[in-house]
Amino acid sequence: VTQAAPITADGLLLKGIGGASFDLSNAANNVAILAATSAGAITYRDADSLAIGTLTVPPIGTVTGVDSGGNPIDLQSGSLALEQSVTAAGSTVRITVFGDLERPDGSSGAINAARADLIATGGVGTETEPVDTSVGTLTVSAGPAGAFIDQQGALTLSGSSDGPFVLVAESSLTL
């Protein structure tokens, strides 16, 4: 699925059938909440802030987070709130934000993939609410607010930050 014109909505629910892919990369897209599930790649670009959340649309049902069924996910926005998880099991999640990548207080959002590339001109997580990851390889580039990551499992890491870089690793770490 591709687009010819920008999408403006309070919420955007994407549900792919079979191996459907979504390439919604118009820089003028403006959606508050994104929820997607598919067995194909998912690319979404937003003009400003975006939340990964839960949406219900009858008769389609409820979709929570973004899950590509093991295919690449590429998200770009002004800032991104991980209220729910982004999952590309066995593949890559790339998140580029021109602001902060955050996990709001009390949310269950995490990044689950073989590889994650997190790029933020602001910060990645906070000291009290780090971004949860379960990835094999993690690349992080963060601005002056720093990067705060809580990693589950073994990890190969490369990254830079104009501020603090804090990683809590639950298993082995290769730098």
Model confidence pLDDT, tens digit, residues 92-134:
999 999 999 999 998 999 999 999 999 999 999 999 999 999 9
Question: Which run of H or E residues covers position 86?
Answer: strand 86-97
Q: For the chain, which residues score pLDDT lower than 70?
A: 171-173, 175
CB 79 within 8 A of CB 97: yes
Q: What is the pTM of this model?
A: 0.95
CA dihedral 159, 130, 23, 92 (to 10 degrees): 50
